[in-house]
Homo-oligomer: A and B are copies of this chain.
Amino acid sequence: MIAERAITDWWSTAVSEIHPGEIRLRGYPVEELIGRVTFAEQIWLMLRGDLPTPVQGRLLEAALVAAVDHGPQAPSIAAARMAATCGVGLNSAVATGVGLLGDVHGGAGQQCMEVLRRVVDGEEAPAIVAEYRAHRAYIPGFGHRFHPRDPRRDPLLHLVRTAADAGEVPGDALRAGLELEAALADGRDRPVPMNIDGATAIIYAELGFPAQLGRGLFVLSRSVGILAHAWEETEGGARIKGPIPRPLLAGYHGTPERHLE
């Protein structure tokens, strides 16, 4: 009995309760959720433990819709496409892409949420900007090496502002993000506007998600693009697709030919 209790407790969860014929997710019988809640609301329920308000659900949905893809030049997408040509299941191709969404490639949203928190908690945006510049570091969530202005910024911020004006979200993370953006632009010819990581970080922060889940939600969203690209490659029928087509060859800059004694 001791062992049974020990092992039961070891794997105990507050996410789901399963008995023969019964599946409850965060307390709700799954059969009640099917057809009643949106996929975005289900995501919220599973991660937070309670259902969102309709406005909260729609804000989350918008953020998830916005970040699904940025094309095959992203290493996560390219790696998933290559995986799909190597004789593994689609699930492995998705796992490959998701595995690359690490601190540098997928972590900007999470990091931006931490910076937003500092501003919400009372630090001055210009001081934070100065601190990053002193370390020659970029503030995560601002600027884009490809887009002068990220087209996803405006529609996302518009939705947050509307929700804040209606009192549906606090609005403090939005204010923090705009203050950082203004501080970054101050005295510059070329502004450094918020990017997708910054705009979704504002939404996730307004909705009360902890920063680490910023990465988690980005993973759920980007998985859609990863799957779409892997599937396109699967349908194309390529085999063992490398990063460059022949006759192009990877260069070599190492030790010239030599021989064992």
Binding site for B on A (CB under 8 A): 1-4, 6-18, 20-40, 42-43, 46-47, 49, 58, 61-62, 64-66, 68-76, 78-79, 82-83, 85-92, 94-96, 98-107, 146-149, 151-152, 154-156, 158-159, 212-213, 215-216, 219-220, 223-225, 227-232, 234, 239-246, 248-260
Contacts and interface: CB of A to CB of B under 8 A. Distances in A.
Given A27-B255, A79-B82, A32 B104 contact: no
Count of this chain's copies in the oligomeric assembly: 4
B213 A231 contact: yes
A234 B212 CA distance: 10
Nearest to A14: B254
A241 B243 CA distance: 11
Contacts of A89: 87-88, 101-103, 106-107, 215
A242 B96 CA distance: 14
Contact of A13 (B24, B35, B72, B92): B72
27 contacts: A8-B248, A8-B249, A11-B78, A12-B251, A18-B71, A18-B249, A31-B154, A38-B39, A39-B64, A39-B65, A47-B228, A47-B231, A73-B249, A78-B82, A86-B100, A86-B104, A87-B103, A87-B105, A89-B102, A90-B219, A91-B99, A92-B99, A94-B216, A96-B99, A104-B239, A105-B240, A243-B243
